[in-house]
Amino acid sequence: MSRKDTSQVTRIVEQRLGYDFTDKQLLLEALTHKSYYHENKEGAVHHNERLEFLGDSVIGLVVVEYLFRHKASYAESVLAKIKSYIVSEPVFSEIAGLLSLGECILLGKGERSTGGRTKKSILADALEAVMGAVYLDGGFERAREVILGLFGSRIETAITSGQFFDYKTELQERTQMSCGKLPEYRTISQSGEEHQRVFTVGVYLNGELLGISSGRKKKEAETLAAKEALERLQGQR
């Protein structure tokens, strides 16, 4: 890749992040997958694994600090569950996808030919590396701003929807213990256009409706229905 091409790639990422790097080489390193580095050792400075290691810790600290200062004042056990949910490959790869980071990662021929630009692990690692680069380039305060700009709404959504808590597993364990049966999830309805579809799901036990809820994804609707079922069972005690 020419110097012009790499400059264009870094500029695109800077625009999407809302952050301009003083040291462009740091960002370029963060976008360099080891497969590209091994094929271009003369042109590539480093690959992104060290920045990935750093970025994981920086994101983790920012998320934990945000949760610690949250008005809900969660207990340590809940903080740990939310952090575990947010600081994870699925969420990182999702955010990297929203940034279209995959098209900017420098990949070797083998990774490009096998769909590396859409692999969740590569996307998540690149996001971590980019956040590590932001931290080294601009310091912790700027890194916090960028990270919360990307993760803030995701954290709040996880909190309000209860996605961080495994309500489905909790409900399954409770029903197995109380009556030796598993709950059954049924899609009651679907509405809206394909890109704005809303699912309504009910959770049943022995044919009895225990909880019902809606969500943009079926899994989200099932999670919220399980939460409602648990609250109902708790009230029956």
Residues recognised as catalytic:
56, 128
Angle between helices 89-98 and 140-161 (to 10 degrees): 110
Grouping H, G, I as helix, E, B as strand and the rest as coil, residue 8 is helix
Q: The tokens 């590569």 sit on which residue? A: 122
What is the distance between the alpha carbons of residues 126 and 32, in angstroms, rounded to a whole number?
8
What is the radius of gyration, based on Cα positions, of the chain?
Answer: 21
Kindly give the residue spans of alpha helices, DSSP state H, lying in 87-203. 89-98, 109-113, 120-138, 140-161, 167-179
Residue 212's Cβ-count burial label (10 Å; 0-12, 13-18, 19+) is middle
- Greatest distance between any 2 Cα atoms in the chain: 69
Grouping H, G, I as helix, E, B as strand and the rest as coil, residue 75 is coil
Q: The tokens 């959504």 sit on which residue? A: 157
